[in-house]
Amino acid sequence: MFDEIRINTAMKQLENEKKIVDYDTKEYPVEVLVQKYNDKIEDEDNELFVPNYQRDFVWNEKRQSKFIESVILGLPIPYIFVADNDGRMEIVDGSQRIRTLVSFCTDELILSDLKKLTELNGFKFSDLTLTEQRRFNRKTIRMIELTEKANEAIRIDIFERINTGSDELKEMEKRKGIFAGKFYDFIAKCAKDELFIKLCPISEKKEKREERPELVLRYFAYAENYLNFEHSVTDFLNDFMEDMNERSSYTIEEINFKKMLNYAERLLKNGFRRTPNAQTTPRVRFETLSVGIALALGENENLTIPNDLSWLESDEFMKHTRSDASNSKPKVKARIEYVRDKLLGRK
């Protein structure tokens, strides 16, 4: 129990801090935001600017294009946070979105890899009809504007809370909603396979964050398409999942998955984990071994267990499967084919 003095002190602090983060909710047309923005902080004419504590413009063209596609389609856009700074609007959160709008409206961005508006791939803003340009310029962006009561320390604190305070969804959790359908259901089914669970232990925390379906998806994506992997694992897996939703059946995939697991059980004394007592399964190690096994079985369905398994403990294999192993195309190809070739007895 707290005494009355402590309670009154706490309530007074609460009231004072709530006043500091006073705010208004507003909406601005895209055209107005673009006109107000200037990436030079010192330029007093720019009414909307990015402060020094914000990060650089890091969105690639694909992510920018996806955002522009969402705006064109009228999909809900998260609020942008700004703060009154001597009458100007300091962007607290949302600089990547604002910069993307500016990049598109000034013809710097060429739309690419759009999934819905595929005919707009290759378009710049000026390539749109005048009618669509006007409609885009009139699209409104919702903003929360902190009043002048929020000093710089408060603004930085809010920026950090927005960007680190929430428990961000893992990629597979996002896919569960975005790509919901028969292929995700198939992946979820495979993730519950008893032998898979036995060979791939994971922590309870990761279990709740869709780690098992993530591993299954990686197996199928690399087993079928590793030669087309470029650099972004997220894009690679998302594209594969979208394509697989178009298939009518996954019978062959399920058969091959079970064959891979059965062979792995005989080959790997510790399953896909590194050591007998390890409580988790590293993704890179799982991908390398499972896909390498699948490729070898694809070439020889009567594949036997090699007499010499010393390569599984070799420095070369460890280098291929360490946690910080690069996801560059050559390295992905090299580690998968290393396992395949060892199982097939190739030099």
Count of alpha carbons within 13 Å of 228, Cβ hemisphere only?
A: 9
| Cβ atoms of residues 312 and 272 within 8 Å | no
Q: How many CB atoms lie within 10 A of CB 228?
A: 11
Which of 164, 179, 195 represents a domain boundary (last residue)? Answer: 164
Q: Examine the domain organization and report whether 234 and 322 are in the same domain.
A: yes
Residue 307 structural domain: 171-343
Count CB neighbours of 300 within 10 A.
11
322 with 198, same domain: the answer is yes
Q: Are residues 326 and 212 in the same domain?
A: yes
SS3 sequence of 187-240? HHHHHCCHHHHHHCCCCHHHHHCCHHHHHHHHHHHHHHHHHHCCCCHHHHHHHH
Shared-domain flag, residues 288 and 269: yes
Same domain, 119 and 199: no
Whether the pLDDT of residue 248 is over 60: the answer is yes
Residue in 146, 143, 142, 125 with CA at minimum distance from that of residue 134: 125
Question: pLDDT above 70 covers what percent of the chain?
Answer: 86
Q: Last residue of a domain, which of 164, 181, 199? A: 164
Tell me the whole-structure pTM to 2 decimals.
0.59
Q: Is the pLDDT of residue 42 over 70?
A: no
- H/E element holding 93? strand 88-93
CA distances from 344 to 117, 287, 294, 300, 305 (A): 45, 18, 11, 8, 10
Same domain, 116 and 184: no
pLDDT at residue 72 above 80? Answer: yes
> What span, in angstroms and rounded, lies between the C-alpha atoms of 297 and 318?
23
Asked if residue 65 and residue 196 are part of one domain, the reply reads no
Count of structural domains within the chain: 2
Q: Which of 164, 196, 215 is the last residue of a domain?
A: 164
Provide the total of helices (H) and of strands (E) in the chain, helices listed first.
16, 5
Greater pLDDT, 103 or 177: 103
Same domain? For 186 and 135 the reply is no
pLDDT in tens, 77-128: 888 888 888 888 888 888 889 999 999 999 999 999 998 899 999 999 999 9
Q: Mark whether 191 and 335 lie in a shared domain.
A: yes
Residues 108 and 228 in one domain: no
Residues 39, 144 within the same domain:
yes
| Per-residue confidence band for 165, with pLDDT thresholds at 50, 70 and 90 | very low
pLDDT tens-digit profile of 130-140?
999 999 999 99
Diameter of the chain measured on Cα atoms = 79
The mean pLDDT of 209-213, rounded to a whole number, is 90
Residues 139 and 205 in one domain: no
